[in-house]
Amino acid sequence: MKQEPINYSNIYYPPGGILMWIIISLELITFGMAIIAMVYSGKQEPDLFHQSRMLLNPIYGIINTILLLTSGFCMAISVHYLRINIPQKSKILLLVTMLFGMLFLLVKTFEYNEKISLGFDINHNLFFTFYWLLTLFHVIHVIVGLVILGSVYFGLRNKKTTIEDVEASASFWHMCDLIWLFIFPIIYLFF
């Protein structure tokens, strides 16, 4: 790994670089607007949203929350090990992070199959339209995050990845965690 000093004392230095934080901000705004629209719609049709939410299995959401929070913790520790120049432990934790991300996708696949087999597709009603749009958009972000993490992992193996690359990938991954922490209670618990 290329060792380039970073001035962490600079208040203007965001982990992962300014471009990554612009992307993260735009993503959070996009998800935020969709969540606000769902809450507003749910207030307009509370019975429909409540009855539809009751058709969900919250165990899927709880398991996925645990998986993503654990993966985020592993990612944070991976960055820490890289900062203190222990790249082998960093790489192991990066793999563990990706494993938990893939398990998240596996659980989502089971959940989606259950919803489809019961006829709760995107056109079922307004609640399920929001359910599918929000969760599928999040799944796409998790997949993109896994691709980024995989790229960083192979870069670490080939010593072509910098700490900034790892921090940028960690920032994106933590954004996926944060978005899920908003989606989970709104979809599975709120209505």
Give residue 18's pLDDT band: very low, low, confident or very high (50, 70, 90): confident
What pTM did the predictor assign? Answer: 0.90
Q: In whole angstroms, give the CA distance from residue 150 to residue 101.
A: 11
pLDDT of residue 163: 87
The pLDDT, as a whole number, for residue 160 is: 87
Using 50, 70 and 90 to split pLDDT, how confident is the model at 86?
very high
- Residue 11: per-residue pLDDT: 56
Determine the pLDDT at residue 107.
Answer: 98
Average confidence score pLDDT of the chain: 93
Domains of the chain by range and CATH? Answer: 18-190 (1.20.120.80)
Query: Given pLDDT bands bounded at 50, 70 and 90, which one contains residue 17?
Result: confident
- Tens of pLDDT, residue by residue over 31-63, are 999 999 999 999 999 999 999 999 999 999 999
Q: How confident is the model at residue 95 (pLDDT cuts 50, 70, 90)?
A: very high
Q: How many CB atoms lie within 10 A of CB 134?
A: 21
Spell out the alpha helix ranges (H) of the chain: 18-44, 46-53, 58-83, 87-117, 126-157, 163-184
Instruction: Quick: pLDDT tens for 98-126.
Output: 999 999 999 999 999 999 999 999 999 99
Nearest to residue 139, comparing CAs of 171, 174, 176, 190?
A: 176
Report the share of the chain in percent with pLDDT over 90.
83
Confidence of residue 27 (pLDDT cuts 50, 70, 90): very high
- Structure confidence at residue 19 (pLDDT): 86
